[in-house]
Amino acid sequence: ILLENELRKSVKLGYFTLEYQPKMNLSRRNLSGVEALVRWNHPDLGRIPPDKFIPLAEETKIILPLGEWILREACRQAAEWKRQGCSPVRIAVNMSTVQLEDPEIIETIKRILFEEKVEPELIEIELTETSFADRDEMRETIQWIRDFGMHVAIDDFGTGYSTFSYIKELPADAVKIDMSFVKDIDVNENSRAIIKAIVALADTAGLNVIAEGIETEEQAKILHSLGCREGQGYYFSKPVPPADCEFLFSERA
């Protein structure tokens, strides 16, 4: 109850920031995009990790105003980077199923992108498999997001309920392989086999594949050899404040 009140107050008072984690092209080893991750910096309680407050924000629907702030802030940053002359990279924004179910969501997205003057092509929305599985209305909203011009990625892929035959029908542009499959890729043949299968399927369906949680050069090499074109993880960079990843834009070329 207490934390809920603090959360509500913090959205009003603006005690949140976004950090950005680079996504790298695994063959050229340059920046291919960034993922925005929200941070709660409470003046008294300190920094509270998202695992602690995102579920609470979802239960209480505080994720609706918070999610609006997150998308707006990511768009503001995209515009800012463009103004600075950085070569444009797509910013991925996580969106909860609760947001996707909001009847206002389409109007909200349109309004934010219009007001912040950001082309939809510059934003990728990351959704978990449950968003695709749950209901027809949500699938229609996902389709609208893509028709609008934004990209859609399926986050934490492999941990949900999707059957393999099902992903070819998903209205998405990319799948993000969950880090649990990447963690033991150098010692576990099964993990390698699963990743290989996901890559093959994604290729057939025309989806891009991003591996998450890469922590070593060895993992990056194996993933690349398995056909995975993009990766993200502490090996390249942890999530950092916007100023700390700007140098990567100039290295793009």
Residues in contact with Mn ion by CB under 5 A are 94, 126, 155
* C-alpha pair distances (Å), 71 with each of 34, 234, 253: 14, 24, 27
CB of 213: closest distance to ligand G in angstroms? 4
A 10 A CB-CB count for 197 gives 13
Q: Identify which of 248, 251, 252, 201 has the alpha carbon closest to the alpha carbon of residue 226.
A: 201
- Partner from Na ion, ligand G, Mn ion, none contacting 230, C-beta within 5 to 8 A by type: none
37 binds ligand G (CB under 6 A): yes
Among 6, 68, 129, 155, binds Na ion (CB under 5 A): 155
Residue 123: is it exposed, middle or buried by C-beta count within 10 angstroms (0-12/13-18/19+)? buried
Among 54, 125, 198, 228, binds ligand G (CB under 6 A): 54
Residue 176: is it exposed, middle or buried by C-beta count within 10 angstroms (0-12/13-18/19+)? buried
Among 34, 62, 70, 105, binds ligand G (CB under 6 A): 70
Q: Quick check: 224 and 204 in contact, CB under 8 A? A: no
Of residues 64 and 177, the one with the C-beta less far from Mn ion: 177
CB of 43: closest distance to Na ion in angstroms? 29
- Partner from Mn ion, Na ion, ligand G, none contacting 141, C-beta within 5 to 8 A by type: none
Cα separation, 40 vs 244, in Å, equals 18
CB of 232: closest distance to Mn ion in angstroms? 9
Cα separation, 175 vs 195, in Å, equals 11
Residues 6+ apart with CB under 8 A from 206: none
Q: Which amino acid is at 61?
A: K
Q: How many residues bind ligand G (CB under 6 A)?
A: 22
Among 10, 32, 77, 96, binds ligand G (CB under 6 A): 96
Stretch that binds ligand G, among 47-55, 76-84, 102-110, 243-251 (CB under 6 A): 47-55
CB of 223: closest distance to Na ion in angstroms? 15
Among 212, 220, 248, 249, binds ligand G (CB under 6 A): 212
CB of 96: closest distance to Na ion in angstroms? 13
What sign results for the dihedral spanned by CA atoms 139, 143, 144, 146?
A: positive
Among 10, 156, 219, 222, binds Na ion (CB under 5 A): 156
